[in-house]
Structure 1
Amino acid sequence: MVMALSKHAGPSLSAQLERVLVVEDKPFQPRDLTFPLVAFGVKNVVCRSFQPSWFSSWEWLHWDSKSERAFCHTCCLAVSKKLLIASCADGAFLTKGFQNWKDATTSFRRHESSECHREAVERLLTVPATTKDVGELLSSKLAEDKRAARESFLKILSALRFLARQGLPMRGDGPQEEDCNFSQLLKLTSSSDPAFAEWLQRKSSKYTGHDMQNEILQVMAHRILRGIIEEMQGQFFTVMVDETTDSSTIEQMTAVFRWVDDQLEPHEEFIGMYALEKADAATIFGMIKDVCTRLNLPLEFCRGQCYDGASVMRGHRNGVAAQLLQINPKALYTHCYGHALNLACQDMVRDIKCIKDCLNTVFELSKLLKYSAKRNATYQRLKDDMAPDQAGFRTLCPTRWTTRSASLASIVSNYSVLQASLTEFESMATYDAEMSARVSGIAHQFSLFSFLFGVMLGRKILGLAENLSKTLQKKDISAAEGQAAATVTLRSLTSLRNDTSFDTFWADVVKVQSANDVDEPVLARKRKTPARFAVGTGPGHYPESPADHYKPIYFAAIDTVMACIKERFDQPGYKVYSCLEGVVLKAANGDDYSAELARVEDMYATDINVPLLQTQLPLLKSLCTGGGNISIGTIKTALLNLGRGRELLSEIFAIMKLILVMPASNATSERSFSALRRLKTYLRTTMAQARLNALLLLHVHKDKADLLSLRQCGDDFVAANEHRLNIFGKFQ
């Protein structure tokens, strides 16, 4: 930035300078000249002269033979180029000339560190040099100071990046912060770097304070965010949001955007957390619009929404999904398949009594062990004695139904250990009637065959659901692939619904029952069907064996979970979205796709060149010649293998991007909540929202934080004000 000279009465600074000397590109430094003597003192007169050795120590010195005085060539050159402000001009080295050889070295040092000289150096640095010799005008000491300052500041940047990336706290507790992670990390770094240790001993301008930390973290986070948005420009994207309450009881909305690059690789990018005053649909939708506007992501490019099933999000009239669909009908809504699967399992458990009862018992057992160190120690002792090679008991997850199969499996493998533990728990609770009753009730359930049957049936069905849930949580899986995974799970459940599978399952249950202290399966006594439920006059049906009694329960559980999955996964938005999938799959298999293509043309006419697409679709059949079941993944692989021939199928690539941009689940938002719990703990509840977002971006995007250029971050930081530029200069 070039600053003009201030206007004052009388001749300008440059005019005054022209009267004294003519400024050339190089300073005049005659080293073999006999310099004139100047007398100092009145009584004891001492004659002194200019010393040629001063030219080596201060390269900016310029000798003027006409006035027999020394000038600062750097300042004079800056004035001649009209780059120096008159108010800070040092007349002794500019217009008058310097001749006080008695105090020469002190005056030279004072001038070199003066505001006038520093500004002259900076102005000449920021203006393109007219000759190759401008660098000779700079003070070597000033340049070295700036270089050392930059190296010290880069170490501060590196320390902050490390702590933020690892999610570690930086500040200490109280006014004395010598023991905080940031101070100790800087001290460790300075132990092998004397220059940095000297920097940390400064009383001011160390750039390690709280405000400086916040600003530096935001500089790094903004650079990561800008990189993400630059990659997303011009691409279709899906909005993924969710809400949670942090440790300081602030309602936080996480924003995640999914997009697909030119290699058909899906990306789910965490953007930030946003505090909500109210968790209603209007506030959340307004926040989504605000985020997209500030990030320069037009909602016209939004092709999907993925939320949970709360009424605020999926309400048909005023929900967030409905409001976005009113603006952009192409932003199809998908109820997160992970949440949908969890609800399907919840519906199944609610309808199958033996599974519901056994889960209630396991939950009570989890509380017995989780909330008592004494009982847990007793269980661990018995386990080490009776089954040291077996995995231990896993407590029941209170929220995720699809993760309960691991807990049920641990019940089966530790059945005898748990029964022995419950016996000891009863003796420990002699003087606590309520606890004694709870333990006795759980122990009684463990002795019942119906409980064991429910545990093993729940493990079998929820195990398949958990496997599907893990598949749906992958970042790169699309909604179409999620539906395909659900179809495979339904086929697996269907294969279990036959007499042969039940007989095998029944044999496994009986084997576990005989190996443990569990009652034999018995038939319930025959009960007459109430008249209001009776149909006809014939005798009622009674099972002939315990296996016949439990077989309908087995089939009912499978039928119920299959019906619930089908119902939860049959979503209105997917019916339109499936037409995209149907077009490419049917074209690859050589089937008729006219009905799907007509639907795609109605919805995505502005996204796809339909006449060109009709020309390209017949090529898919010859492209996918591998045989077997052709899936979206098969077509994706075939397209990527084309190399430069992708232009032949440009519109099919556009359809594939629309298919892959819709996620199967909102698991990335859930993962950001885990990061939030790691960062904003009960000891860090006073963290401001801006600092929290910066830390989250650096912690979640570890790979991008590792690739950050600290020198670019340094340039962004010093660009904030001129004082920093004077201290550090340019990093690149």
Structure 2
Amino acid sequence: MAKCKEDTFVKVGFKNWKKAVEKFQNHERSYAHKLSVASLIAWNKSDGVDVQLNKQMRADQVLAQKALLKILTSLWYLAQQRLAIRGKDATGGNFRALLNLRAEDDDNLKSWLKQKISHTSPEQQNEMLQLMSHKVLRELCTEINKSSATNKSTFGIIIDGTQDCTGQEQEAICIRYVDVNLNVREEFIGLYRMSSTTGLSLCKMLKDVLIRFQLPIENLRAQTYDGASNMSGIYHSCQAEIKKVQPLASYTHCGAHVSHLVVSKAVPSSPFIRDALDCLQELGKLYKGSGRFKNLYLHPDNDDDDNVDGCHNYEDVIKALRTASSEFGTNVASRATGLLKFLKSAKCILGLVAALPIIKCLENFNKALQGNTINISGMLEAAERVKNELQRLRSEETFREVFKDTEEKIEKWKLDPLVIRKHRIPSRYDTGGGESDLSIEGLYRSEYYKVLDSASVNMINYFTSTDIEEQQRLASMLLEGEYHQDLVNKYPELSDSLRLNISFFYSQYQASSVEEYRTINTRLSCQLCRSRAIFQYSSAYEDMAS
């Protein structure tokens, strides 16, 4: 390519090494050398077609990765905040709006969303959500399997059924376990659609779930369901079928269901309390079903939190029902007329006043049982306190106060007094003994006692009809220092050295509940970790010094 090229440096080769430095310097200043150097630099800087295509493909991949990351994080944010993802169509909704908002500050994301394939379709959203949920479940199962220092990570299950908006039966499953820090954990792992709700079908579903999550059924130590016969029956229920596979899976009633079951069986024992509460429920349905009645009932004085009477808004309710019965449409007016007639009766007022202390007592019991840190001893202690409170309410003095409060309200609201409707006794049954000397207060007091007695009996039955007594024996080994050899032999995770450990621990530390012992163990574990760290640090320091 150069006119005055030197064949010595191109074809022939250099031989005159005596004058090498001089010849090299002259050649370095020549046009041929300069042209060759420039051509070499240009060749090194330029890429081939295949290299250029690969670079463009890599740039597109980086753009796609960044855009996909923005899409995933946006979807993760909406799922974490429990916000709706899609709207009426695929182009609307929170997900698309959030992506458009983030695209205003990101030109790459804006250009990516304009493409025909942007990976934002509903099917791909569902796939991403499924991948996220699977990752969460995998981490959860790993944590459960590592929750025990003895490599015997025991756990319990909680199952409750409900129906979705389409009427399909779904079973909600939760896992309850104790982590390495001795904290009680309850984790929801999913909803499973069931075509049949028999005990055998639910047992098969549960075994399939445990297999999928790699949780050995041999480590199952507790099962908790509601009081339905398909769950709690003795022979062919879910708990009975599970016990055939794992006899150590003790069964107890779900604490959150016990108070509801007690109320549902106790209230029907007294007709005047049952009718009053049914009327109150119908009033709530009318309030929810009619927006006009709701606006009519709302009053600036209704939210008086200082008045805990329970009937402080009675006059506003009566006024609203009276207006609705005369001015509203036929359906609402007829319901309002029936409710107004019953609510103005003294019998309804007595039922509401008498039911208030019982419902409050069982409601507090319900709240206590719904705590995720509640244990067997705490549950039984709460049940014992509620039982004592119900026994306290079952006294003539208490009902006399209720009856006196009712009479004051009847006089205040100018209602008809309480009366006993007397029925004429047929002549063939009339023994001539005269009229009964049972007073009005005595008549309603006997029905009031029926509710309290039913609540106390059912509460005892729901707790004693399960395996809770065996679990209480396990807790007593820690709380009272007792040692039950039969239980230690029954559970493989309990060793024979437990007797000495319990004896030593009980002699050094004493508490009144399992929760207090858990706090003591947590504190001891922290001190042990600090001591171990100090020991390791001092040992390392001595090694360096030596």
Range into which the TM-score falls when normalised by the shorter chain: 0.7 to 0.9
How much has 1:541 moved relative to structure 2? 5.4
Shift of 1:410: 8.6
Match of 1:642 among 507, 518, 524: 524
Structure 1 distance, partners of 2:426, 2:463, is 37
SS in 1 for 2:162: strand
- Alignment match of 1:582 (pick from 476, 481, 486): 476
Q: 1:54 and 1:221 mapped to 2: Cα distance?
A: 52
Residues 267 and 644 (structure 1), Cα distance of their counterparts in 2 relative to 1, 3 Å cut: closer
Matched, 1:608 2:494: yes
- Select the residue among 453, 468, 478 that pairs with 2:375: 478
Match of 1:241 in 2: 159
Q: Which residue does 2:324 correspond to in 1?
A: 425
Q: CA deviation at 1:158?
A: 0.7
1:443 maps onto 2:351 in alignment: no
How many angstroms does 1:299 deviate by? 0.3
CA distance in 1 between partners of 2:234 and 2:374 (Å): 27
- Does the CA contact (< 8 Å) of 2:269 and 2:450 recur in 1? no
Would the aligned equivalents of 2:104 and 2:110 in 1 still touch at CA under 8 Å?
yes
Report if aligned partners of 1:36, 1:50 keep a CA contact under 8 Å in 2: no
The Cα of 1:356 is off from its aligned counterpart by: 0.8
Match of 1:224 in 2: 136
Equivalent position amino acid for 2:378 in 1: E
* Deviations 1:273-332 (CA, angstroms, capped at 9, x unpaired): 222232222322111111111111110000011112222222322211111101110001
The two structures have a TM-score, normalised by structure 2, of 0.81
- How far apart in 1 are the matches of 2:192 and 2:167? 13
Give per-residue Cα distances to partners, 1:202-222, cap 9 Å, x unaligned. Answer: 344x33334432332222222
1:111 aligns with 2:59: no
Is 1:632 the equivalent of 2:545?
no
Q: For the residues of structure 2 that align with 1:494 and 1:418, how far apart are their CA atoms? A: 33
| CA drift at 1:223 | 1.4
Q: Distance in 2 between matches of 1:550 and 1:111?
A: 96
Partner of 2:228: 310
Q: CA deviation at 1:453?
A: 1.0
Is the 8 Å Cα contact of residues 379 and 417 (structure 1) preserved in structure 2?
Answer: yes
Distance 1:35 1:161 in 2: 64
Question: In the TM superposition, what is the alpha-carbon distance from 1:437 to its structure 2 partner?
Answer: 5.4
Distance 2:361 2:373 in 1: 21
Q: Is the 8 A contact 2:144 2:153 kept in 1?
A: yes
Mark the CA change 1:633 to 1:532 in structure 2 (over 3 Å): closer, same or farther.
Answer: farther
- Going from structure 1 to structure 2, the CA distance change for 1:348 and 1:646 (only over 3 Å counts) comes to farther
**Which structure is higher in RCO with an 8 Å CA cutoff and minimum separation 6?**
1
Alignment of 1:264-279 (within 5 A): 264-279=182-197
Counterpart amino acid of residue 615 in structure 1: L
SS of 1:277 mapped into structure 2: coil
1:377 to 284, 287, 295: 295
Aligned length: 495
Conserved? CA contact 1:172–1:181, under 8 Å = yes
Whole-angstrom CA distance in 2 between matches of 1:264 and 1:297: 19
Query: Is 1:598 aligned to residue 513 of structure 2?
Result: no
Partner of 1:215: 127
Structure 1 residue 569 corresponds to structure 2 residue 463? yes
1:50 partnered with 2:39: yes
Corresponding residue of 2:359: 462
Taking structure 1 as the reference length, the TM-score comes to 0.61
Name stretches of at least 5 consecutive residues in structure 1 with no aligned partner.
1-31, 39-46, 62-107, 119-138, 392-405, 588-592, 648-732
Deviates more, 1:153-162 or 1:511-520: 511-520
**Mapping of 1:78-89 within 5 angstroms?**
none
Matches within 5 A, 1:48-447: 50=39, 52-53=41-42, 55-56=44-45, 108=48, 110-114=49-53, 118=54, 146-174=61-89, 177-204=90-117, 206-233=118-145, 234-380=152-298, 383-384=299-300, 387-390=301-304, 412-428=311-327, 432=330, 438-447=335-344
CA distance in 2, matches of 1:207, 1:376: 46
Instruction: Please report how far the alpha carbon of residue 266 of structure 1 lies from its aligned counterpart in structure 2 after TM superposition.
Output: 1.2
Aligned partners of 1:632 and 1:249: how far apart in 2?
41
Secondary structure, aligned partner of 2:214:
coil
In 1, distance between residues paired with 2:371 and 2:467?
Answer: 21
Residue 201 to residue 633, structure 1, CA distance change in 2 (3 Å): same
Q: Give 1:225 shift.
A: 0.9
The 2-side partners of 1:183 and 1:563 are apart by: 57
Contact 1:152-1:199 within 8 A present in 2 as well: yes
Distance 2:341 2:161 in 1: 41
Q: Does 1:547 align with 2:441?
A: yes
CA offsets, 1:520-553, max 9 Å, x none? 334554876999899xx97775235x43443333
1:339–1:49 CA distance, 2 compared to 1 (3 A): same
Per the TM alignment, residue 508 of structure 1 is displaced from its structure 2 partner at its CA by 2.9
* Shift in Å, 1:556: 2.9
Deviations 1:622-646 (A, max 9, x none): 33346xxx12222222222223678
Amino acid in structure 2 at the alignment position of 1:157: L
Residue identity (%):
25
Amino acid in structure 2 at the alignment position of 1:112? V
Partner of 1:619 in structure 2? 504
Which amino acid counterpart does residue 101 of structure 2 have in structure 1? Answer: L
Tell me the residue number matched to 1:711: none
